[in-house]
Structure 1
Amino acid sequence: MDLERMQALLIALQEARFAGLRSVSYDGKTVTYGSDAELAAAIRDLEARIAVASGASARRRRWGTVAAKGL
């Protein structure tokens, strides 16, 4: 799947989610997601694929706590 097609699909998924719909139609096909969580997971997956296809790596951040006694 090329980058432009993935971006168009991402927009369709986001619009459906923001409208409260669980069905998305594109290229003459209709996909119905069982829950909002499934739709959100599909959006995250597509965003990651777009990041890889566009050459940007998906950034992961680590948060932690560092403590010292000050010796």
Structure 2
Amino acid sequence: MSFTQKHLDAVEAAIARGEKTVRYADRTVEYRTVDELLKARYQIRTSLVASAGPRSRVIRLYHGGKGL
């Protein structure tokens, strides 16, 4: 299933409210435990990061010697 940021927002809002029920559009999902809800949030985040594609890398150069 492809997730969107709205899915993640709905799950995080339910976690913040201390609920185990997530409502999105016309669907309602009730999780059995908060741990299951946290796992769902992790899965959605992982899916969103993977679908975002490759990120550019930042290379930091450090100079540990004396200045010029």
> Partner of 1:8 in structure 2?
6
> Which structure's relative contact order is higher, taking Cα pairs within 8 Å and 6+ residues apart?
2
Q: For residues 36-63 of structure 1, give each alpha carbon's deviation from its aligned partner in whole angstroms, at most 9, with x where no partner exists.
A: 1000000000000000000157xxxxxx
1:51 aligned to which of 15, 31, 49:
49
* TM-score normalised to structure 1 length: 0.70
Normalised TM-score (structure 2): 0.73
1:20 and 2:18 matched: yes
CA RMSD of aligned residues (A): 1.5
Aligned residues: 54
For structure 1, the 5+ residue unaligned runs are 58-71
Partner residue in 1 for 2:31: 33
Q: Name stretches of at least 5 consecutive residues in structure 2 with no aligned partner.
A: 56-68
Identity %: 26
Counterparts of 1:55 and 1:7, CA distance in 2: 15
In structure 1, what residue type is equivalent to 2:18?
G
Specify whether residues 21 and 56 from structure 1 end up closer, same or farther in structure 2 by C-alpha distance, changes over 3 A only: farther
Kindly name which structure, 1 or 2, has the bigger radius of gyration based on alpha carbons. 2
